[in-house]
Structure 1
């Protein structure tokens, strides 16, 4: 399977796609202003204080900006430029900030729509300028696709190893390797990590559920009973948060319809690996990748939503893989609205179920940690490959040096975004050196 994109990915949008992005950005900014949902999982826990009046709009906006800026400019923009596919860091994180920043309800959707216009009208111009430079660092960034796609497939192995030990981790590793080799041999047009990831995630879930079932049986055999407090403050908070979200069910259904429609248009990818798969037209493989990620985020999104009263802009992210596979926009909107309705209505039930499955909750934590670990290595390695493509040893020196400098300075740019940001800065520096007649671009 080829993992290299055609040179010069472009961000050309049809009128329908432009309007969808602009209107969805307006809607998400409005919902953020209402403190009903935000995309950044790190911002959501701070929303309860804002909703209950213990924190003001300015302070909450500052938190959102501090947690999001690195991902917007260091990951979202570079990924969009290198793949020609939009992503949630570029589309939804800025509307989190703009919605919270807006002092008036009517102003929030205007600010969100303005950001949507910047995306659909401004990115392609920046893309064209970058491609016309002597050192085309945007095309060089497509080197990131191979390490991201292949290393990302290992995240279930890491999660199993962390939670259930080296023996089960070794079994998962051998199984995934065998499935990758088999897929490359028998189905070369298929994403090689698809079956491997499916097997790994299913194995992790099976191990976690088995552990929880055995523990509950052991507790019952030992006469241990679950104590439920009538005046449990967390249960009261969860109930109030769920009721608050249900009051705005029509708005969430509209949001689900919009996000699913965006995914159906195939101009949007829900993750790093997904963006490259969407760019190559491998929509079923992209749906598989984003579906497996869902298992790592349902417990986090459900519990933070119930604890804070603010949901996720993309919900449990199920609308991503569903949208990729929808045959037409109308069906995508109907299904997306239905999925969001079911998610919001089921929040309380999901919270109760997760409370009885501690190992499954732990699996979610390990999955997210493993996804982060694999992507950090893949993005760093891919960024160094891009640096080598741009400027050989000098490119590696600049990009690697910027990454190490960021580490030494305490990571002012978050680690996952630091390497792609370094590629862009390094590409600009190499172009400046070329104009000063101090550097000759590598041919080919």
Structure 2
């Protein structure tokens, strides 16, 4: 797997075609413009703060500072290392900076220019950085490809973790056993298929099945009580949350053409196979496994759809990638023109359906809660995978000394209260450790590991 990934990444080499460069620059300009207008941001943690900004209770600079604080670690600790090691762009590298630039831009016309400038920096600057890093005595970018195996295989466990968190040990153990069995079966019977794909499919279906069954039982048990409670509410009663959600949905619908353009751009970018929506997805796209990448990103939708829907309705600011359905759809479409048309349609349907989705989530509490457990499980699985893969990369580029430096930087970050978010701390430590090992080499204090990174 590591050899195939290395060959694929070397072939990609972050060398984009003129059409791909133009699209990246255009999408970054569009996303920065949307962020400036407080219509969409990528960072889910920033979206709740947009309500105060929209209503004038927070300044542009204050909101931009919040966005920068919540995004910087992911950009430099996760987005850039993942792009350099896989040759595939990702949303942390492209869209988190355009959130910040768009919000901070003092004029509407300036925001798209700043976003376009960032897109140009990415498509023109990463290639040079990639070549420079590969020419160093200690090639830490090649070493970072060691992260692919733990990320791809541990990611397959997230449905079992989510089931355990929400429905207890017994059902969690059952889901885990099914996951393990399907991974082993796939490796034996379909060696050309990503081993985690069938396991994740069945695991997510089991989680949703448990959640729906719980909601059905709850509805049956409390049907009479709910009916009596509803009858006690006067006809003139008004739900303040429903009023707020209605206002947010109406604001988004007024800008439907902008969202359709955004959906078209993001979906076309995914179709061009230079962009991956997640950690595991980036490695799969680098290997040319587009169907498996689509499957992985499709499952992530279940974890983030309720969060994106409720925060969008409450704040009046949508997600840059919507419900992220345009990622897997884009991977599978035949050309960018079809992808643009389909992406625009998908975004239009998402925005128009937001109010209905919000009401449906209100009636399905267990299904809504399972998304929170899915997000937590994805974070746990990827956190361990990225840490373990980063230590493998440290060992590949520097042996025990590499592990000492990179592991020490990670532990120091923990001891200092995580100035770099945990998910990004380990890849950032590999980059810093690679620089340190090259410095030691030039001082004559370190000899690269024989054979170099695998």
Per the alignment, residue 156 of structure 1 pairs with 159
CA separation in 2, counterparts of 1:344 and 1:223?
30
Per the alignment, residue 345 of structure 1 pairs with 352
SS at match of 1:103: coil
- The offset of 1:443, in angstroms, is 2.1
TM-score (norm 1): 0.99
CA separation in 1, counterparts of 2:271 and 2:174?
37
Per the alignment, residue 83 of structure 1 pairs with 86
1:361 aligned to 365, 368, 386, which one?
Answer: 368
Structure 2 matches for 1:276-355, cutoff 5 A?
276-355=283-362
Would the aligned equivalents of 1:4 and 1:145 in 2 still touch at CA under 8 Å?
Answer: no
SS at match of 1:5: helix
Stretch moving more, 331-340 or 214-223: 214-223
- CA distance change for structure 1 residues 226 and 262 in 2, over 3 Å: closer, same or farther? farther
Would the aligned equivalents of 2:2 and 2:146 in 1 still touch at CA under 8 Å?
Answer: no
CA separation in 2, counterparts of 1:177 and 1:226?
46
Would the aligned equivalents of 1:3 and 1:146 in 2 still touch at CA under 8 Å?
Answer: no
Per the alignment, residue 213 of structure 2 pairs with 210
TM-score (norm 2): 0.96
Per the alignment, residue 34 of structure 1 pairs with 37
Would the aligned equivalents of 1:4 and 1:142 in 2 still touch at CA under 8 Å?
Answer: no
Per the alignment, residue 58 of structure 2 pairs with 55
Unpaired segments of 5 or more residues in structure 2? none
Stretch moving more, 224-233 or 34-43: 224-233
CA separation in 1, counterparts of 2:151 and 2:123?
26
Per the alignment, residue 439 of structure 1 pairs with 446
CA separation in 1, counterparts of 2:402 and 2:116?
38
Instruction: Give every structure 1 segment of 4 or more consecutive aligned residues whose post-TM-superposition deviation is greater than 6 Å.
Output: none
1:175 aligned to 178, 184, 194, which one?
Answer: 178
CA separation in 2, counterparts of 1:48 and 1:116?
27
SS at match of 2:6: coil
Per the alignment, residue 249 of structure 1 pairs with 256
SS at match of 1:133: coil
- CA distance change for structure 1 residues 325 and 90 in 2, over 3 Å: closer, same or farther? same
- The offset of 1:230, in angstroms, is 3.0
CA separation in 2, counterparts of 1:2 and 1:77?
20
SS at match of 1:69: helix
CA separation in 2, counterparts of 1:226 and 1:116?
54
Per the alignment, residue 76 of structure 2 pairs with 73
- The offset of 1:317, in angstroms, is 0.2
Structure 2 matches for 1:188-227, cutoff 5 A?
188-221=191-224, 224-225=227-228, 227=230
- The offset of 1:103, in angstroms, is 0.2
- CA distance change for structure 1 residues 368 and 226 in 2, over 3 Å: closer, same or farther? farther
- CA distance change for structure 1 residues 221 and 273 in 2, over 3 Å: closer, same or farther? same
SS at match of 1:429: helix
CA separation in 2, counterparts of 1:423 and 1:25?
28
CA separation in 2, counterparts of 1:289 and 1:232?
37
CA separation in 2, counterparts of 1:278 and 1:44?
29
Matched length: 444
CA separation in 2, counterparts of 1:192 and 1:223?
45
Per the alignment, residue 267 of structure 1 pairs with 274
- The offset of 1:3, in angstroms, is 7.5
- The offset of 1:86, in angstroms, is 0.1
- The offset of 1:4, in angstroms, is 4.9
- CA distance change for structure 1 residues 211 and 437 in 2, over 3 Å: closer, same or farther? same
Structure 2 matches for 1:87-106, cutoff 5 A?
87-106=90-109
Structure 2 matches for 1:8-27, cutoff 5 A?
9=10, 10-27=13-30
Stretch moving more, 265-274 or 216-225: 216-225
2:409 aligned to 402, 405, 408, which one?
Answer: 402
Unpaired segments of 5 or more residues in structure 1? none
CA separation in 2, counterparts of 1:436 and 1:325?
50
